Structure 1
């Protein structure tokens, strides 16, 4: 398979490297143990030096924080724990001054139960306009049973019964997630128009795009039929998808009309059609096939969708090559770029995940009593995986701290855990706290320079290991993970790899490659060729003499004849 190159002046989002900031855990400017917007602003020069094109910031809206901000009480305000609207404006200005675009999270499936709309719904009568903004239904039988048997993603049933204004038990409301996250009714035009206005509010302030939380969940089957399986987002390995069908709560056809409306709003902010001024939408849509995922990025809908199939691909050569091929094919079929991602705030960090046995299901968190990752192996593979990923054409997403090689915190005690999935399942599901631990910046400072003083606990405790991985310990150190990322991002930009054409290799300068090697070239039509090799196998690959080593994820070796060799779990870029 050959993937053709894109135009050199392609829209920025087709090849951007976008860095996710989890605001609670990036930098704390106020010393209360929780990260905030001024903290992010203070560290933007670091991101500029890293070489990223854009930053995506997880929710910072006003919220009671039942699900770390994914339960929004006011979409047009900043929660005091993170700062103020003025702080958001200052962050946007500073980022743009540094040449960094800003993407913000939008959570449209549900609000907080403390949102004004939901409070109005509780105070209103069944059948009222206020309740029509959400999914309220009468219970079964005498009303004491839920309207259907749907289960929450976070455990337990997906319905909660309310107490009516007269004090009697009444209707039930749907919440695919926590009971404090009631689902909106997207068949209601008032909901549609409200979110158009929310988009405009943030676009007017200068944001460059939106990452859309569980983008495939907004519309449910109108009949709300029973569904025997648990409502899972594809990729949750604890239960299989039934015959490729996620269930009546996901991926309904009407959702696409919603995003066509959103795209019209965003396009209206770039009337000249300048591709470098595009405001973008990126879908978080866990779906069984790449073809279904790509339906969200047709020309009149979203610009990007996360490639979770790539994130979950086993660490085997055949699996990795297959997923890259199918990703590029599915994206090209709709004229979109593909995206590449290895870690985010919802999954075990890839420095830990890749230290587990190959082929086992992806865990939703790792607890102290679970089998522990091989830290050395995990980091070696993580560096190799990132080096391969950043050589692929398309757009790439990084998660804060992966450039330091941070592993998950796998020994968090139960009493500090905050993920509602942990609490709603009584600890049966470990949850996502381990990948959300605050960043280490300076090894010798309290909270490793995160910003909390000695007498204040960070919102999640940091493992002692993070001190040795702090940014100051890696700054300027040859071979450190931080310097590897900086080099990869610099070379990616210099060689225009994000818009390059990809061609697979089975031989290198006439010599067949051993089994277990993924090899390809990436080049523009008028540019130099970069050859990329990742060795998944046990047989070392002899590298041709005379070829420049642009970067390697690990140390290259010499064989008995003095030839350079690429060993297992290592990636190299050759000029």
Structure 2
């Protein structure tokens, strides 16, 4: 079996110079608040990241995506920005940022910033000026509207339309000073920018150019497909049992979204020399939409984050009405995206990010007997598909969901707002609401990275802003770095395989055994090189009948996830077993 537990210095079969470099790249997301704290205040910071760059280099990643570190009141942990050109003091200084950027570049890694321009903080000077008067020159930089006719201003039902916010409650906040409402699709402290105003777009593009001139290598664009709203902001249909209308059809993939993204490319990236990455986070995006957004000829974005597979376990009541997603459903969804973007466009591949619960607890099995194997199996099927893989901090260690004891343990505004509305306004049983939050809350992804088995898992010398998962004594980076059977070692092997084998970064994809209830199998083919992936995504032994199994019996076993079993195509898989094979094909 090929030894892929070390990161090769040379990348055999690397893409040609005219290929998009990100086809063979792997991106690592850092959520700074929870990554590493250098000064003991309990909040992660830029110097903490700098201190752990050896970890990222050893893992072998090519790009770091940095969640927001801009100045912010921290209503939504930095996704409410009050100054796009300043670093929040909780994270450090611009000098710290410049040092981080230089250190990453010196190690051959790139840095991608989080671009949050659907909304700002209500403490951003743009909004402060906009709210200062109905005659303010920046009034039209945001969505201001008068109360609904026939209703007293500020009274329930007086909102300009019936849209609901993603964070519970109406999507409008009443400003007593001016007697008008402003739109906020998220928190009331996150007013939406009016992209119809060309001055807004000019200011955004100027800010983006400022960061690129500083040396950053691209942007992950937060909910970027929501920036174009339908004219008139009409009332929306109210789903059964809901209080507010679902405005999504009126602000997702809006009428000018492609125009805005093409203009952004022209004003920011066109004419620049350098290897940049642009990825758009796009809730509700379809395969058909994604082909347009990621078609290189259209010059919009390089890839998108789609949400189909991470919505499979949402119940009729949404994410906080969790169900279960079968392995068959998961592979069907991912396979459909592979097929849909096969000829035009590109996939971004992810299980985890700062908004999703931990994949080992969600689609895997975090019980002791299966946790490591399931983490490796899920990583295997994701990383070897066609697309650019994203690793969220701690995922490479197999970190799990947090056993939150009470609502007092949560910090996320979405979770806290949901609990308040569900319990106080809707009369749901507190324990039932807590049970759903334990499964789906964004805070599951935001507990501190588990660096060691020491106090606070080595994250801080102080009191962490959110509690450390109690399993840190068992799951931590220090214990895994020298363990060839660890989750960390397996992620290193997968990343090295993408770097060394062009069939992974450039090959075609074919889903096998689509109806099998638990086995996720596919091939990747490029010329005479072919890769086979077989993984059993369940805690029970599986049998399968692979087409052309005989042709694979002499193939080279490249990677397996069960230490005591050599991978072989023999029609059976142990619980959570993953196997990878490579061969030359003829004719």
TM-score normalised by L of structure 2: 0.83
What is the distance in 2 between the residues matched to 1:397 and 1:49? 16
- Deviation at residue 328 of structure 1 after TM alignment: 2.6
Cα displacement (A) at 1:35: 0.6
C-alpha displacement of 1:549: 2.4
Q: CA deviation at 1:496?
A: 2.4
- How far 1:487 moved relative to its partner? 1.3
Matched, 1:442 2:452: yes
> Pick from 136, 140, 146: which aligns with 1:138?
146
- Counterparts in 2 of 1:442 and 1:382: CA distance versus 1, 3 Å: closer
Distance 1:564 1:289, change over 3 A: closer
Distance 1:423 1:517 in 2: 38
Q: Does 1:283 align with 2:280?
A: yes
Separation in 1 of the partners of 2:307 and 2:16?
27
- Cα drift, residue 119 of structure 1: 1.1
> Match for 1:484 among 479, 490, 501?
490
Q: Does 1:66 align with 2:93?
A: no
When residues 95 and 412 of structure 1 are mapped into structure 2, their CA distance, relative to the original with a 3 A threshold, is farther
The 3 A distance-change label for structure 1 pair 550 and 558 is: closer
Which residue number in structure 2 is paired with residue 532 of structure 1? 533
Determine if the alignment matches structure 1 residue 466 to structure 2 residue 472.
yes
Kindly report which structure 2 residues correspond to 1:489-500, keeping only aligned pairs within 5 A, or say none.
489-500=495-506
Measured in 1, the distance between the counterparts of 2:374 and 2:243 equals 27
Distance across 2 between alignment mates of 1:504 and 1:131: 52
CA distance in 2, matches of 1:68, 1:481: 29
SS of alignment partner, residue 156 of structure 1: coil
Equivalent residue, structure 2, for 1:327: 337
> Is residue 352 of structure 1 aligned with residue 361 of structure 2?
yes
Deviation of the 1:336 alpha carbon: 1.8
Provide the secondary structure at the position in 1 that maps to 2:118. Answer: coil
Task: Tell me the residue number matched to 1:359.
Answer: none
Quote the Cα distance in structure 2 between the aligned partners of 1:285 and 1:240: 22
Q: Residue 571 of structure 1 corresponds to which residue in structure 2?
A: 578
Distance 1:223 1:46, change over 3 A: same
> Are the aligned partners of 2:22 and 2:388 in contact in 1 as well (CA < 8 Å)?
yes
Quick check: 1:100 aligned with 2:114?
no
> 201-210 or 319-328, which moves further after superposition?
319-328
User: In structure 2, the residue corresponding to 1:308 is in which secondary structure?
Assistant: coil
2 CA distance for matches of 1:6 and 1:482? 23
Within 2, Cα distance between the matches of 1:72 and 1:377? 41
| Secondary structure of the structure 2 residue equivalent to 1:247 | helix
Aligned to 1:370: none
Q: Does 1:163 align with 2:176?
A: yes
CA drift of 1:435 comes to 1.3
Question: SS of the residue aligned with 2:341?
Answer: helix
Name the CA distance, whole Å, in 2 between partners of 1:118 and 1:317: 46
Structure 1 counterpart of 2:303: 304
Distance 2:475 2:556 in 1: 30
Q: In the TM superposition, what is the alpha-carbon distance from 1:21 to its structure 2 partner?
A: 0.5
Distance 1:86 1:264, change over 3 A: same
Cα distance change, pair 214–473 in 1 and its aligned pair in 2 (3 A)? same
Is 1:554 the equivalent of 2:553? Answer: no
The 5-angstrom pairing of residues 140-539 of structure 1 reads 140=148, 141=150, 142-144=152-154, 145-164=158-177, 170-229=179-238, 246-268=248-270, 270-271=272-273, 277-287=274-284, 289-299=286-296, 300-312=299-311, 316=326, 318-333=328-343, 335-355=344-364, 374=367, 376-377=369-370, 379-427=372-420, 428=422, 430=437, 431-444=441-454, 446-450=455-459, 452-453=460-461, 456-504=462-510, 516-525=518-527, 528-536=529-537, 538-539=541-542
Q: How does 1:47-58 map to 2 (within 5 A)?
A: 47-58=56-67
Q: For 1:155 and 1:186, how far apart are their aligned partners in 2?
A: 24
Following the alignment from structure 2 to structure 1, what is the Cα–Cα distance between the partners of residues 205 and 527?
41
CA offsets 1:33-83 (integer angstroms, 9 cap, x no match): 111111111211211110111010100000000000000000001000001
Q: Which runs of 5+ in 1 are unaligned?
A: 232-237, 272-276, 357-372
Please report the RMSD computed on the Cα atoms of aligned residues, expressed in angstroms.
3.1
Alpha-carbon offset, residue 216 of structure 1: 1.2
Secondary structure class of the residue paired with 1:426: helix
1:517 positional shift: 3.1
With 89-98 and 38-47 compared, the bigger mean Cα shift is at 38-47
